[in-house]
Amino acid sequence: MGITNQAKMIETTIKTVTALAHSPMVRVDREDFLRSQFADSPYLDKILAQGPQSVYGLEELRRMADKVISGSATQTALASFVAGLPANPLIAIPVGGVDVLQYFGFALNMAQRLAYLFGDQELFEDGKTDISEKTRITIIAYLGGMLGVAGSAGLIAKISRQASAVVGKRVAAKVLTMTMWHPAVEKVAMLVGKKITQKTVDDAISKVVPLVGGVISGGLTYATYKPMGARFADLLMKRAKGELA
């Protein structure tokens, strides 16, 4: 891929990440999610303070993750079916773009839930519409992990190590920056951009046929969404076991 195309793919990823970060439906409040997930647990206070992994074993957390993935897959497939109904080729591309943004919005929403199950801290800062460089990099890593792009596992591991190193400390602005991690972030962002672009084209094609377009769109979404969630949950399991390089 030429340098110009690589830059376009990275730009696509950055634009998508920025759009997702400004969508209220994407954000998951860590405390609210954990309270609903572990409402009956006598260890709720410890879970909120230290994460579910401080109470539950990894295999049990993985089973919980599967339930989160199944629920999210059904929800996003239904939304994709509705968005897939338009049959006018002239509006297929614009509607397809909205559906793609919705698709990755649901994916990022699910990724947060899975990450919180395995002990991650809040992704988005409370009350802030603008996102930090750390959050932007983390979102890219989450999307890359779900899509199975090369380098995303290492990026997730690096983010986790950096976070662990600064627990209880105020992080200097330069600690987590795109510049510092430029090669790793750029590679993952470029590959994520390719996936987003392909998803946009596929969705636009599926919307040309009335009703069938909705069935195809929803079906493809469900078929791809569950493996994405499982892939990300597996990465989180490996990270917890110290198996990510």
Instruction: At 121, give phi and psi (nearest 5°).
Output: -85, 175
Lookup: tokens for 174: 């330069």
pLDDT confidence of residue 240 = 93
pLDDT confidence of residue 165 = 54
pLDDT confidence of residue 221 = 58
Lookup: tokens for 77: 């497939």
Q: How many CB atoms lie within 10 A of CB 190?
A: 21
pLDDT confidence of residue 130 = 77
pLDDT confidence of residue 35 = 96
pTM above 0.85, yes or no: no
pLDDT confidence of residue 33 = 95
Residues of the chain short of pLDDT 70, as ranges, are 1-3, 76-99, 127-129, 163-182, 201-223, 245
Nearest Cα neighbor of 242 from 181, 170, 161 is 161
Nearest Cα neighbor of 20 from 136, 155, 172, 163 is 136
pLDDT confidence of residue 23 = 82
